[in-house]
Amino acid sequence: MTFDTAIVTTRQPHVDHWTASGGRKIFMSEKNAVRQPALGTILLVHGSSMGSQGFDLDIPGDPDASIMDWFACRGFNVWRLDFLGYGRSDKPDDHLATVEQAVPDLLAATDYMKSHGVTDAPMLLGYSSGALRAALFAQRHPDRVKRLGLEAFVYTGAGSPTLAKRAEKMKEWKSSVRRPLSRDFLMSTMTRDHSETTMDSRKLPFIESILALEDSVPNGTYIDMCENLPLVDPRAITVPTALLRGQFDGIASDEDVLEFFRLLPNPDKEFIFLPGVAHTAGTAKNYLRFYSAALSFFARPEPVFVDRH
């Protein structure tokens, strides 16, 4: 597939779905490719501080703000889910929503997708702790992941200024199941690493979309990322994998994610450095570098020759 910058993104209809994980309700939403047959199916995997609503922003005059619409207009069926504890999914009082606890949610989601006509394994695109969730799922269930995109990923946490700062509040994170959200905090996720990388026009719509559904989020992934890294073994991930790394992203160091990349055993792998991007690539001024890099990796033809030795 050739990346065509002339394709115009338009708002696409969505279909909302509900399934269950561990007896609790999971919310999912789907947008179909504008042309069929589709090039494939993408499942978007959200991070620590919001549900999946940020993947489908509706900003007048900015149709690209919805990554779901953008990929649908370029030939992919696109799904998103809210993990337990987030968004429109159930929010059990005792549910930390750790990285480990995402695995049964993703199993339930991919089971549901298969029962609703998704015949091939989806391609997963995970952001921040969602990248950890997607990677652990691919490690445990490689048959359910065709390709794996990891954006704003962290491996061991070595050299991460964001995690070093976050660890100062570990006592607070571990004292409760959930932490409150505020506009100031959500703004900081887009400005803490570099004050000028984010599109001003997307900041408030992104924040408002989150606060429309959440006033707090679970603490599990914060605890995981400060105390339990590494959570994923790169040597056990056998599916084709792309790491997308923002130039100013403080969640990990270059050396940390490059070591993860080096240990991936499948030669069908890519490391993509995103210039002028910090932690939130989807709201960055250079968002098209992120979108197009993921599109290119997901639209790759499969290798004809593979050396199994």
Nearest to 1 by CA among 40, 30, 31: 40
Query: Per the omega criterion (within 30 degrees of 0), is the bond before 37 cis?
Result: yes
Per-residue pLDDT tens digits of the chain, which is 309 residues long: 445 557 999 999 999 999 999 999 999 999 999 998 999 999 999 999 999 999 999 999 999 999 999 999 999 999 999 999 999 999 999 999 999 999 999 999 999 999 999 999 999 999 999 999 999 999 999 999 999 999 999 999 999 999 999 999 999 999 999 999 999 999 999 999 999 999 999 999 999 999 999 999 999 999 999 999 999 999 999 999 999 999 999 999 999 999 999 999 999 999 999 999 999 999 999 999 999 999 999 999 999 998 876
Cα–Cα distance measured from residue 96 to residue 216, given in angstroms and rounded to the nearest whole number: 12
Enter the tokens of residue 115: 């029962």
Cβ pair 132, 154 in contact under 8 A: yes
Cα–Cα distance measured from residue 114 to residue 286, given in angstroms and rounded to the nearest whole number: 34
Q: What is the predicted pLDDT for the residue at 4?
A: 56
Cβ pair 251, 160 in contact under 8 A: yes
Tally Cβ neighbours within 10 Å of residue 164: 12
Cβ pair 270, 243 in contact under 8 A: yes
Cα–Cα distance measured from residue 245 to residue 253, given in angstroms and rounded to the nearest whole number: 9
Cα–Cα distance measured from residue 77 to residue 37, given in angstroms and rounded to the nearest whole number: 10
Q: What angle do CA 55, 274, 239 make, to 5 degrees?
A: 70
Q: What is the predicted pLDDT for the residue at 308?
A: 72
Q: What is the predicted pLDDT for the residue at 153?
A: 98
Q: What is the predicted pLDDT for the residue at 2?
A: 43
The span from the first CA to the last CA of the chain, in angstroms, equals: 30
Q: What is the predicted pLDDT for the residue at 307?
A: 81
The number of CA neighbours under 13 Å toward the Cβ of 148 is 30
Residue spans per domain, the chain: 15-298
Cα–Cα distance measured from residue 25 to residue 278, given in angstroms and rounded to the nearest whole number: 33
Helix and strand element counts for the chain (H, E): 10, 10
CATH number of 15-298: 3.40.50.1820
Cα–Cα distance measured from residue 284 to residue 47, given in angstroms and rounded to the nearest whole number: 16
